[in-house]
Structure formats: structure tokens, C-alpha cells
Chain A
């Protein structure tokens, strides 16, 4: 079939603002979720993760929220800095017993641009 280019969601914020990046996941059997940051010319870099038995986890300047009822994941970045400008990916991993067990499935990504 014809390939259609992904139109990545974009988020533009001012330096110092808080950023919220959202992700909808598809597999209700997924039991692990992870956020990656990808800067231009680099591979994805681990930011933070969360298991399905939790609904919130905090790291340094970042917080991940998980709402299993609506299959939604969000990444909050506090006091966003220009160095946070990148593409952010959420990824889900299938739980035991499912066809996607052990496989990491990535979302399409969100472009975050931080203006000084």
C-alpha cells in the first residue's frame, strides 16, 4: 500500500514552562511503559519508565502518569530548558501471554521545541 508520512504532533513552549507530552497506547495487556528522547542525529535516550501496577512515577524534572482505564500515558517536564528540545517517544511492552510479549512498540513521537 501507499506509505503516508507521519505527521508528528508538535509542542512549543517557552523556557521555564512546564511541558506535557501525551501518548495513547493500544495494547491493554501491556505491562511496562517507557519514555525515550531522541535528539537530532542521535539514537533514543531513556528518560523514565513505569510499570502497569503504578499510576505515577517521578524522576529528576520528569514525571510519568499512567491511566490504564483510558490507555493513556503522559510525560511531564518541569522547568523546560532549550536542551529538552527533541522528539519524545513513548513505548509499551507486551505482558506475558500476549502476542506482543517482550516486544517494545513505539508511538509515533512528539516534537518538543523550547524557545529561549
Chain B
């Protein structure tokens, strides 16, 4: 069974641009969570989606948004990029919402110049 797939693996953007990251969960998994990982703040929860609905949200500004499609695939969008948005963005999937074990993808490394 394929794992969580995130695309692209690497991205370089400039300040003010917007970016969309994609995540395909493990087949059969219906919940997708997103995390931001930086050297300064560690791993921080962004949001969780289940059945195309956002079920949980972390403490990030409204520039960070996401959505989930009917096939459980998810995208997250960051608008008006700032230098501080440079990070590894990780997607994790689980069978159901609030499931215990989340399985992570390899992440998308975003660099904002």
C-alpha cells in the first residue's frame, strides 16, 4: 500500500506570492492533517480535514488555508508569502478524524526568498 504522497518535494517562491501544496493520503484514509516544521518552532499543527470539512485548526494566520476533496486528497494554500513561511510542510493521514496514529509524508520544503 502506497504511503502518504506530497508534491512537490521542493518549492522556491518569493515574498508576496502564493503557493499550493498537495497531499494524497494512504488509500482508505479519510483524515488529513497538515503541520509546519521549522528549526525555530518545531512541528506545529496547521489544520485537519475529514470528509471535506475542516475539523481542527491550529494557531496560524488566515493566509494559511486548506481544503479536502471527495477522494480525500488535500491541498493547502499559503497566500502573500513571507520569509518566515520557509519551512517543511508535512501532511499526515489517518483512517478517521481524531485517530490516534497519523502517518506522515516526506513533506514539501518551501523556501521563500
Contact = CB atoms under 8 A, between A and B. Distances in A.
Contacts of A41: 106
Contact of B104 (A32, A43, A49, A103): A43
Give the size category of A's interface with B: 20 to 34
B39 A103 contact: no
Contacts of B104: 36, 43-45
A25 interface: no
A49 B45 CA distance: 19
A104 B41 contact: no
Contacts of A69: none
Contacts of B101: 34, 46, 49
A91 to B, nearest CB: 8
Given A43-B90, A45-B104, A46-B103, A106 B42 contact: yes
A43 B42 contact: no
Contacts of B98: 101-102
Interface residues of B, number: 27
A103 B45 contact: yes
Interface of B: 4, 33, 35, 39-45, 48, 55-56, 58, 84, 90, 92, 97-98, 100-107
21 contacts: A5-B39, A6-B42, A34-B100, A41-B106, A43-B4, A43-B104, A43-B106, A44-B92, A45-B104, A46-B101, A46-B103, A49-B100, A93-B100, A101-B98, A102-B48, A104-B45, A105-B45, A106-B35, A106-B42, A108-B42, A109-B43
